[in-house]
A and B are shown apart, each in its own frame.
Chain A
Amino acid sequence: MTTYKFIDNSGLDVDWDASSFTSKNGTWKTREGDVRKEIYKMTKARSNVSFVYKESLRSMITSFNDVGYISSEDKWTDIKCIHANAERAIAKLKQENNIILPVLSIGQTVSDNDSERQKTESLLVNEKYWDKEKNRAIRILSLAPRAVNVRYQLNIWTKYMADMDQILEQIRLKFNPEMQVPTEFSTLAKAFLESEEEVGQVTVSDKEDRILKKTMNIVLRTYIPSPKFLFSSEGQITEFKIGDTC
């Protein structure tokens, strides 16, 4: 039988105030700490703009550009997918886009933090790339990317229910259960279909016709990348942009 021996801690001082002591962790010199401090110093506001929202939107529009429908004459017809939030002056130029139905549009609505995927800020991300020109591997360091969920609304407008149902099944099949949304920043970003809303009207008053419009709410789980830095074998840290050669 196991016997336990309890320590008598009656002599220990347990009432001390931890906040009255200064931590010495910050003064401990480590290579990782130096690199992190250097990266903090080199990070400027302008290098924080990666255009990830724009590229994600571009990729989302592209993802739905292959949707079409089979016409009553068994002919495949492509459908245009456009950005849903155009400036009026530019939308005017393209106003013929929605004269002929069906039409698809996609627009970004809101984005929020994803607490499940978030990393601590001080985490250093170490990536390796192969430089074909120099024929050697390079090391890229960055702080942790920010995990965000970007929400989009995919709008569908058709004249006939037969077209609407064909479009819906193609869109549903793209999310099985997720849809890859590749960008230059990530090939792993995934979009999920959250819900579907009826926007048009089926019950209409006298002298009005039915409107077949639907909105599908999509959430894209992606990351906003932190600025990246090239970490040479000599220990030098320089700013690095995707597409740069070292």
Chain B
Amino acid sequence: MAKKNYKATTKLPELPDLDEGESLLNLFDQDNPDINLFNLVDDEMIRLAGSKFSFYKYYQTEEFDDVYMESRNKPVAKNAITVHGHYDPTSMSEELTQFGIELTNDQLFTFNKSYIERKIGRSVIPGDILKPAFQDQMYEIFEVVEDSFESYGVYHLVCSAKLLRDAPDVQDTPLTEISDELGGYAGI
């Protein structure tokens, strides 16, 4: 079989230096006004499809047990801030275990990142407590991740939470001298 050799005769033009300037077609463009549009749409979708929550801020301090690396005395705001978020309410799981009926109801709560940061004055952190208006249960957030990266924008905070299992006096007593910060949103 004959060996085929192809030889190009056409010389391609030189490519422009791509690092020099941004193309108008770049999808990665943090100044793109569409990002804010998407963000507003996302916020509105969460408000429309979601529900109200009472949000109790955890005032993170450096006072924790440095041996066990845990804090049994978390200063939590007594007064709640009402926020909007989205979650899928699920019924309480009632497994019969060696501790009787073990009520568990781990939930994922979704907030618009810009909205919640503006509303509570900071980002959501593990230790914050939530109480959905729909259910008479308190949840303790233990993990917060950023989600939804459409068009290089971070729109969501997804918070994993479990039933709060601290003593009632921990939930009801303000353990800090810091006054509650009542936030506002969009000038409201």
Binding site for B on A (CB under 8 A): 71-73, 77, 82, 84-86, 88, 91-92, 94-95, 97-101, 103, 105, 107, 153, 155, 157, 159-163, 206-209, 215
Do the beta carbons of B73 and A91 come within 8 Å of each other?
A: no
Asked whether any CB of chain A lies closer than 8 Å to the CB of B162, the reply is yes
Q: How far is the CA of A98 from the CA of B103 in the complex (A)?
A: 8
Do the beta carbons of A100 and B167 come within 8 Å of each other?
A: yes
A-B contact pairs, 21 of them (CB 8 A): A73-B73, A84-B99, A85-B98, A86-B100, A91-B96, A92-B101, A94-B100, A95-B100, A95-B101, A98-B101, A98-B103, A99-B163, A100-B165, A101-B165, A159-B166, A160-B70, A161-B70, A207-B106, A207-B108, A208-B106, A209-B162
Query: What residues on A are CB-neighbors of B99 within 8 Å?
Result: 82, 84, 97-98, 103, 105, 155, 157
Q: How far is the CA of A82 from the CA of B99 in the complex (A)?
A: 8
Do the beta carbons of A162 and B70 come within 8 Å of each other?
A: yes
**A78 CB → nearest B CB, Å:** 11
A207 with B94: in contact, given A95-B101, A98-B99 (CB under 8 Å)? Answer: no
Q: How far is the CA of A220 from the CA of B136 in the complex (A)?
A: 43
Do the beta carbons of B162 and A82 come within 8 Å of each other?
A: no
Interface residues on B, range: 20 to 34
Asked whether any CB of chain A lies closer than 8 Å to the CB of B65, the reply is yes
Q: Which of B99, B163, B167, B168 has the most CB of A within 10 A?
A: B99
Do the beta carbons of A99 and B98 come within 8 Å of each other?
A: no
Query: What residues on B are CB-neighbors of A207 within 8 Å?
Result: 106, 108, 143, 160
Query: What residues on A are CB-neighbors of B166 within 8 Å?
Result: 100-101, 159
In the complex formed, the residue of B with least CB distance to A212 is B70
Do the beta carbons of A84 and B168 come within 8 Å of each other?
A: no
Interface string of B151-165 (1 = CB under 8 A from A): 000000000101101
A91 with B162: in contact, given A72-B73, A209-B142 (CB under 8 Å)? Answer: no
Do the beta carbons of A97 and B100 come within 8 Å of each other?
A: yes
Tell me the residues in window 70-104 of chain B with beta carbons closer than 8 Å to chain A beta carbons: 70, 72-73, 94, 96, 98-103
Q: Which of A99, A105, A162 is within 8 Å of B72, CB to CB?
A: A162
**A12 CB → nearest B CB, Å:** 67
**B69 CB → nearest A CB, Å:** 9
Q: How far is the CA of A160 from the CA of B73 in the complex (A)?
A: 11
